[in-house]
Structure 1
Amino acid sequence: MAGEASTGTFLQGLDRGLAVIRAFSADAPSLTLSEVARDVGITPATARRILLTLSELGYVRSDGRRFSLTPRVLALGWAYLSSLDFGELAGPFMEELSAKTRESCSIATLDLPDIVYVARVPTSRIMTVALGVGARLPAYATSMGRVLLADLPDDELTAYLSSVEAEPLTDRTVTSPDKLREVIDAARTDGYALVDQELELGLRSIAAPIRNSRGRTIAALNVSAHASRSTPASLRTETLPHLHATATQITTALTHRGHL
């Protein structure tokens, strides 16, 4: 890399900061200062300044020797995903899913401690809270939130579970950190999450991940149904296959558009 000073309109500091973030990956979830310097091609002193800045901003954490990204980095992904206009890209697939299931469907991304809606196709109003693009709900009590949490590295999931203030939104809401880990681990294994009246009484929801070309979950797709029209078993056997098929269609569309 060139020197630290900006050249014309090109900011070397920003370039290096983003390069440091990109140095972390599924194969290298934590790195030492020396490893960051080597991988990015900068001096240890520069790597130290960048890592300490990212740590101060909340994008990186350290155990004293090794550094790793925090869930706050996902906010950068949310900004990117929201710019894609999911409503335009995923809309036709979601309309088809809604027609097949006769229920509402939505797409959300993770912005801890919440999920943020980026697209929605409603049928009838089955929730007391109005939902639209930009609406936020607590990740722990939603099917989409659990699918998204399931893709977090174990240390980041542990940090989330140790800090989240899980409130009993209904008498069915899972609030225990141990139980939440159990249901999130199940979502990781099963490839979907089902929430039965934990967010709101009378509402059931099932969600599946939307993954990028590297297999990482970038968003979640769900179908919500009133308890009078659904059972957990019917959501699994009848709705889930349509949900997975639609998630695959959206991933393919994003890939063809060059977004993944």
Structure 2
Amino acid sequence: MPSALARPASTPPQELPVAPPVAKPTPASTLDAYVGDPNFMTSLARGLIVIQAFTQQHPQMTISQLSVKTGLSRAAVRRCLYTLTKLGFAGAEDGQRYGLRPRMLSLSHTYTTSSSLSTSAQPILERMSATFRESFSVATLDGDDIVYIARTQVSRVMAVDLHIGSRLPAYCTSMGRVLLAYLPTEQLEQYLSRVDLIPHTTRTITSVEKLRLALRNVRRLGYALVDQELEVGLRSLAVPVYAPSGRVVATVNLSGNAPRMPVYDMQTHFLAPLRNAASELSAFLR
């Protein structure tokens, strides 16, 4: 006999719509912001994107590999490489895997010889290295990275071989923390909204709020000390370099081996010399 209370017919659960995967931004996608700008040279921008795709980890790549890495079409990559090869800035020994040629160094040399900041910094760092027998650097902010514009290396303190033109993430380096801390508020918030805080070590700050707090401390103290956040065993100290306008345009840094250089020693023995070097460098900018 059927029950007086009829059981409602079961309805299949409704499937939630699946959002399409978000395409990862590529260097080529940044060019979309300039669509319609009659003064923007897209072909030049594409060539620069191809040049910047070559790294220490990927010194040689095929057209297909460059196309995937840059987001440019194979045809666009091929035309860029053809031009760079004709001008002597790139080439392919086997006809397939392209790499940059020594002539590319002329571009960086042009910058270092024409930049008052770079030319003024190098002798200051060399004098400091001769005095303290430690490695010192000067860097500026370029996008989300720091770029070395002057450097002296007494001993190898990092697994990566750093040199003028080397790039490192700003959020987990002492020089990057200084440069980020003194950014205008709007620029800093834009950076924090897009940065991918990759944990390079177990000490790396990977929270935006913790990074924000660390940057506030940098402004309060006037220096940044980063302890093994980029690489285990690497400890670094950095101070700001001011332009005549009062804007922070660069940073001077000391890098050392953590077991050999305790935090207290860095603060007591090297903070004052770093600040003196930063003041001396600032004087050249007047």
Q: Scaled by the length of structure 1, what TM-score is found?
A: 0.65
Structure 2 partner of 1:109: 140
Map of 2:177 onto structure 1: 146
Find the counterpart in structure 2 of residue 97 from structure 1. 128
| Greater RCO structure (CA 8 Å; 6+ sep) | 1
Cα shift at 1:100: 3.2
1:201 pairs with one of 206, 228, 232: 232
Q: Provide the rounded CA distance (Å) in 1 between the counterparts of 2:130 and 2:119.
A: 17
Contact 1:101 1:239 in 2 (8 A): no
The one-character-per-residue Cα deviations of 1:159-201 (angstroms, maximum 9, x if unpaired) are 2112100110011111110000011111112111000011111
From 219, 226, 235, the equivalent of 2:257 is 226
TM-score (norm: length of structure 2)? 0.60
Could you tell me how far apart the structure 1 residues matched to 2:208 and 2:152 are? 32
Aligned equivalent of 1:178: 209
Q: How does 1:111-260 map to 2 (within 5 A)?
A: 111-255=142-286
8 Å CA contact retained: 2:117, 2:284: no
Which is higher, the Rg of structure 1 or of structure 2? 2
Partner of 2:105: none
**Larger helix fraction of residues:** 1
Between Structure 1 and Structure 2, how many residues are aligned?
182
1:117–1:136 Cα contact (<8 Å) kept: yes
Q: CA deviation at 1:86?
A: 4.4
Gaps of 5+ in 2: 1-31, 36-109
C-alpha distance in 2, partners of 1:223/1:196? 12
Unaligned runs of 5+ in 1: 1-54, 59-79, 256-260
Deviation at 1:102, TM superposition (A): 2.1
Percent of aligned pairs with the same amino acid: 47
What is the rounded CA distance, in whole Å, between the counterparts of 1:81 and 1:219 in structure 2? 15
